[in-house]
Structure 1
Amino acid sequence: MAIQKLQDLSVTEKSSWKSHHPEAGYTKEARILDGDIVHTWAQADHDIELDFMDADLLKLVLSETGLVNKKFHVIFDLNHVTDISYSYKKAITELLFHWQPFLGLVCFFNVCPSMSVIVDSFAAVAPDNFCVLQTETYQDAVKKALAFKANDALSENGENEAASEHSEFKRRFLGAVARMSWLNILDYPIPVPAPDSQYYHFFQAIDALRSDFKAKETEKENEIKQIHQDYETRITQTIIKMNAQAEVGKKSIHEFEAQLATLRARVAAQDMELTRVATAISEKTNALRNLLDQIHSLDIDTDVKRKMTDECLKLLETETIEKRLNIELTETDSIFLSKLQKKHTNLNQRELRISLLVKLNYDTVEIARSVGISTRGMESIRYRMHKKLGLGKHESIKTYLSDFSTAY
C-alpha cells in the first residue's frame, strides 16, 4: 500500500480498488484521502449512466484501510455522469440510512444540470444527522470534507429569509418524492404548508399522490392475497382430485391383482392338465411299445402279425402327435392331423394345434387362450396360416379345414 503526501493531504491508493462495468462503459475507482475520506469516481471518456452501486468496492476499501465501524466520509466525482439508474438511487438512499452512525459527510462534485435535482433529493431524504451536499470542484469537495471533520459550519451564508424558506420547502418536497419513489415509504407524513403559502398546492398534490400510491399498494396487496387464496384453493382441489385418482388407482390395482390371480389359477390348472395329458400319453406310448414287442414275439401268421403291427404303429404315430401338441386326440383327430401335416408340411406344431381347434369349432378367444397368445397375435397367425394353406383371398380357413376333414 503506497502512501504519499499531496499538498499536505495523505493519499492512499491500491490498484485493486476498481470495479469494472463493461456494459455501462466505465470503471469505478476509489482512493482514501486524509485517512478517512473516500474519494470515488467513474473512469470514462464519454457520458455514462451509473448502473449499480459498488457496495463491495466500498467495503473492500474500508476493510483494507481499517475504517470498518469507524467514521468515514465520501466525496463522489460525477464527471461524465448524466443519469443514475433506479436501483442505484435506491442503493444510495439505503446507504445513507444503513451506514449511520459511521457515515459522516457525502459530497458530490462535477454535477451536471440533469443530475443536480437527484443529488438534492439525496440530501433531502437523508437523516438529519447526515450532511449531503454538492460542490463544483474537487478542491471544494475536499475543503467541505475537511471542514466537516473539523466541525465547522457548512451552511450557506448570506441567504435572505425568502431564499431560506424556498430552500427548506424544496428540501421537504424532494424528500417526500424520494421517500415514495426510492424507499416506497408511503406512511411518512408530508408536512403541508399553510393554505396561503405559494407552495401549498405543490405539497397538497404530492400528498394526494402519496395517498393514491398507498391505496394502490393496498389494492395490490389485496390482489396478491386473492391470488394466494385462489392458489390455495387450486392446490386443495388438486389434492382432492389426486386422492380420488389414487383411490381409483388402488381399486384398479385390486382388480388387476384379482384378474392376475385368476389367470395364475387358470395357468396352474392348464399346467396340471398338460402334466396329466403328458403322463397319459407317456403311459400309452409305453403300453403300445410293450404291446408291439409282444406282437413281434408271437408265433402267429405273418399277415396277421403285420396287420397288428401296423395298427400299433398308427397308434404310436397318434401318440407322437399328441405329445407334440400336448393334447389328447381322438382317432378322428389323429387321422385329421396326420393327413394335414403330410399335405402341408410347412405348418408348425402351434399351427397344427390351431388347425385342430378351428376344426373343432373353438372361437378365436378360446384358441388364443389355449395356445397362450393374445387375440391380436391370433389374428396374425391366422393371416400366416391362410398363406401357408394356399387359400384365396375370400376363402375361409374354417371352411377349408372342415372340407379337408370330410374329404379325408
Structure 2
Amino acid sequence: MTHCPVSGLPITEKEHWSFEHRQGNYIRKYSLIGTDILHVQEIADHSITPEQLYAEDFNSLITEENLTGNPLYLLMDCSPIASISRSYKKEFANLLLDQDSPFRLIVLYNTTPSARLHFEMLQALEAAARPVILAKTYNDAVTSILEFKSGAVTGSSSEPKPESLEEPALKREFLAETAEMLLHKQFDRPLFLPPEGHPAHPYFLMLELIRQDLKALTKEHQQTVERIEQEFRTLLASKNSLLDSQVKLNKKNEQRFKEQEAAWLSRIAAQELETTRISTANAEKNVALRSLCDLLENLEVDPSVREQLSGYCIPLFENSSKANLLNTELTETDSAFISKLQKRHPDLNQRELRISLLIKLDYHSRDIARTLGLSTRGIESIRYRLHKKVGLDKHRSLKTYFTDLATGQI
C-alpha cells in the first residue's frame, strides 16, 4: 500500500476504481487517502471537456467503503480539463448547495487557465458549510485539507465582502451573480452595484441589464411554451373529437351492415325454404303423375281414348320429373324421403335436404362435396350440424337415421 507524500496517510486503490469515462476519451481514477479524503483524477494525454460530473459515483464508493454519515473531503485533479459543459456546472453547483452532502470541503488543483474562471464562478456559489478551494498543486491541495480539518483554514468565509470594493471581493460577487443567473435562473435577487465612478460600476451595471434581458427572455420563452402547449391541447382535443366521431360513425356503419347482413340471410333462408317447398311439391306431383299414368295404362277404355289421355299425362310427367334436388331425377322413394324429412324437420334448408338424401344414398363426403361444389371439410361441418339439428345422440349415425325414416321404422 502506498502513502500520501504530504500527509503520510495510507492510500487505498482498487482495480475497479479506475475505468474509462462514459465519454470514452479519458480515464477517471478514484482513490481514498486515509479514511475521509476522496481523491478524483481525470487522466488523459489531451485536453478534455467533461460533460458530466457523475457525482453518483462518489456515493457508490462511499457506500462500498462504509463511509456513509462520516464527514468527508473531496480532492479533484483538474489538470487535463480545458473547459466544462453547462451540465457539468449545474451538477457541480447542486453538489455545492446540497445540504445532505457528506463533503465538508472541496479542493480543486492543477486547474488550467482556460478552465479556472469556470471553477471560480462555481467557487463563488459555495455555501458556508461547503467551501471550495482552488489550489495550485497536489501538495497545496492536501495541505489545505489538513489545515481545514485542524481549523487553521476556514475556506472562504473570511473573504472580504463586496462592500469593501476590493478587487477580489468584486470579482467574486460578479462571478456569483453570473452563476446564479446562468445556472439557477435567479433574476430577482438584489444586485450589488458599486458606486458611480468606480471602475467596476459599468460591469455590474451591464450585468444588471443582462439579467433584466434574460428575465424578459425567460418570461417570453415560458409564455411561448404555454401557448404551444395550449395549441397542442386544443389540437389534441379536436383530433380526439374527430376520432370519437369517426368511431361512432364506424359503429353505426357496422350495425347497419350487420342489419343488412341479417336481412339478406333471412331472405336467403326464406328463398331456400320456398325452394324446398316447391321441390317437395314437385316431387309429390311427380309421384302422383306416375301413378296416374300407370292407372291409365291399365284402364279398360277405348284404346283411342286411353292413348289420348296418355298423350296428355306423359308430357306433364316428363316436365315434372325434371324437378329435382341433386341435378338428377328423383325416384319415388327419394321424393317420399324428402317429403318425410321436411315434415319431420321443417327447419332444414334446401342444401341440408340435398345432403341428407345423398347421405341416405350412402354417398361419401368427398363425393357429396364434388357434387355440390363444396370442400370435404365443409361437408363434414354440415354433417356435424345436421347431427345436432335432427337431435341425434353421438352413437347414432345420420345414415342409419335417414334409412329408418325412409323405411318407416320411426
TM over 0.5: yes
Q: How has the CA–CA distance of structure 1 residues 320 and 133 changed in structure 2, closer, same or farther, with 3 Å as cutoff?
A: farther
Does 2:251 correspond to 1:216? no
Structure in which a larger fraction of residues adopt strand: 1
Letter paired with 2:124: A
Question: CA offset at residue 123 of structure 1?
Answer: 0.6
Tell me what 1:349 maps to. Answer: none
Contact 1:17 1:57 in 2 (8 A): no
Cα distance in 2 for residues equivalent to 1:21 and 1:311? 111
Tell me what 1:88 maps to. Answer: 88
Cα distance in 2 for residues equivalent to 1:179 and 1:310? 121
Question: CA offset at residue 114 of structure 1?
Answer: 0.3
Tell me what 1:190 maps to. Answer: 191
Contact 2:108 2:134 in 1 (8 A): yes
Tell me what 2:138 maps to. Answer: 138
Per the normalisation by structure 2, the TM-score is: 0.70
Cα deviation digits, residues 132-175 of structure 1 (max 9, x gap): 12122111111011111111136799x9x999811111111111
Does 2:44 correspond to 1:62? no
Cα distance in 2 for residues equivalent to 1:256 and 1:38? 76
Ranges in structure 1 where 5+ consecutive residues have no aligned partner: 327-408
Per the normalisation by structure 1, the TM-score is: 0.70
Letter paired with 2:105: L
Give the share of equivalent positions with the same residue, in percent. Answer: 28
Letter paired with 1:222: Q
Question: CA offset at residue 120 of structure 1?
Answer: 0.7
Contact 1:24 1:50 in 2 (8 A): no
Pick which of 134-143 and 235-244 moved more: 235-244
Q: How has the CA–CA distance of structure 1 residues 99 and 24 changed in structure 2, closer, same or farther, with 3 Å as cutoff?
A: farther
Letter paired with 2:167: H
Cα distance in 1 for residues equivalent to 2:171 and 2:312? 129
Q: Counterparts of 1:6-405 in structure 2 under 5 Å?
A: 6-7=4-5, 8-21=8-21, 23-98=23-98, 100=100, 102-153=102-153, 165-298=166-299, 312-323=313-324
Question: CA offset at residue 313 of structure 1?
Answer: 4.6
Letter paired with 2:260: Q
Cα distance in 2 for residues equivalent to 1:79 and 1:210? 33
Cα deviation digits, residues 13-67 of structure 1 (max 9, x gap): 2222234226441111111113211111112222222122222321122112232
Ranges in structure 2 where 5+ consecutive residues have no aligned partner: 328-410
SS at match of 1:81: coil
Cα deviation digits, residues 192-238 of structure 1 (max 9, x gap): 22223211111111122112111111112212222222222223333
Cα distance in 1 for residues equivalent to 2:169 and 2:199? 13
Cα distance in 2 for residues equivalent to 1:55 and 1:155? 22
Cα distance in 2 for residues equivalent to 1:240 and 1:201? 58
Cα distance in 1 for residues equivalent to 2:185 and 2:175? 14
Cα distance in 2 for residues equivalent to 1:256 and 1:263? 10
Cα distance in 2 for residues equivalent to 1:32 and 1:258? 81
Letter paired with 1:238: K
Cα deviation digits, residues 164-188 of structure 1 (max 9, x gap): 8111111111111122222333333
Tell me what 2:375 maps to. Answer: none
SS at match of 2:111: coil
Contact 2:95 2:101 in 1 (8 A): no
Letter paired with 1:191: F
Cα distance in 2 for residues equivalent to 1:69 and 1:200? 45
SS at match of 2:218: helix
Letter paired with 2:104: G
Contact 1:17 1:30 in 2 (8 A): yes
Cα distance in 2 for residues equivalent to 1:261 and 1:162? 93
